[in-house]
Amino acid sequence: MDLTEARKRIIVAVDVPDLDKAWEITDKLDSTGVLFKIGLELIVPFGIGEILNRLTTDQIENDRFFIDAKLCDIPNTVGAAARQIAMCDVGMFNVHASAGADAMAVAVQNRGVSKVLAVTILTSLSNEQCKEIYGNEPNDAVLLLALLAHTAGVQGLICSPKELTMLHEHRVAEDMLKITPGVRPTWAAANDQKRVMTPAEAIRAGATHLVIGRPITKPPESLGGELYERMEKAVDLIAAEIAGAPAEVVA
């Protein structure tokens, strides 16, 4: 895999509180070819339509955006929300697998040209926290939710890279995208992520895309240069790791 293709496997988490800051990040990184995740910090105050109107340009089209709304409600409400998001022609949006197979299925029915991703267990949860909430270890909880997601026909799963090998062994998600937060290069701090891997480790384990926020948007000064120079360097370093992973795993 070459570096151009590797950059397309990176989803930059644009987790900032205002549209001007979001635009600065997407504008500076548009030429790298990465995708962009828009989460609740922007969605709540501004709405998806206003965000896309501000951030999309001739270079950055709607399909490079992943709307991280984590829909979780009764099927009728999830379906209605999915229909509204689908009108924006974004590349991907997500639902919580814990909403159940019916809610995920109706999101799939209403997805338009967008891909639906199912969130399993948040990567900020430790093993103990996972057991407190779901009554299971992360592997068991993720497997159950992944089976529900597969039944519902979603196009991708979101899980920790730590669960990718288990999913491969159970042949649950072979035909799905596998999107992994909880990815941290060796030169970046783990922050609030608990179940983490490096980019190369995650790709070798079977991830198709990596969601990475602060290592790119708040890169360490040790990378050298001004902020946006460091952001581009961070993308290049991560892309080089991805490109170095076995091509047959990433394909």
Helices 138-152 and 127-134 cross at an angle (nearest 10°) of: 60
* Residue 73 is a catalytic residue: yes
Find the catalytic residue in 70, 115, 162, 194. Answer: 70
Find the catalytic residue in 63, 73, 140, 236. Answer: 73
b/e map 34-54, b = 16+ CB within 10 Å: bbbbbbebbbeebebeebbee
Q: How far is CA 106 from CA 76, 82, 91, 96, in A?
A: 8, 8, 18, 13
* Residue 218 is a catalytic residue: no
| φ, ψ at 126 (rounded to 5°) | -80, 175
Half-sphere exposure of 151 (CA within 13 A, CB side): 11
* Residue 27 is a catalytic residue: no
CB 16 within 8 A of CB 42: yes
Q: How far is CA 74 from CA 102, 112, 133, 227, in A?
A: 9, 20, 20, 43
Indicate the burial class of 224 (C-beta count within 10 angstroms; 0-12, 13-18, 19 or more): exposed
Binding-site entries: 15, 37, 123, 184, 193, 213-214
Angle at the Cα of 242 from the Cα atoms of 164 and 2, rounded to 5 degrees:
135
Structure tokens at 120: 């399993």
Instruction: Give the single-character DSSP code of 62.
Output: G
Binding-site entries for substrate: 15, 37, 123, 184, 193, 213-214
Which positions are catalytic?
A: 68, 70, 73
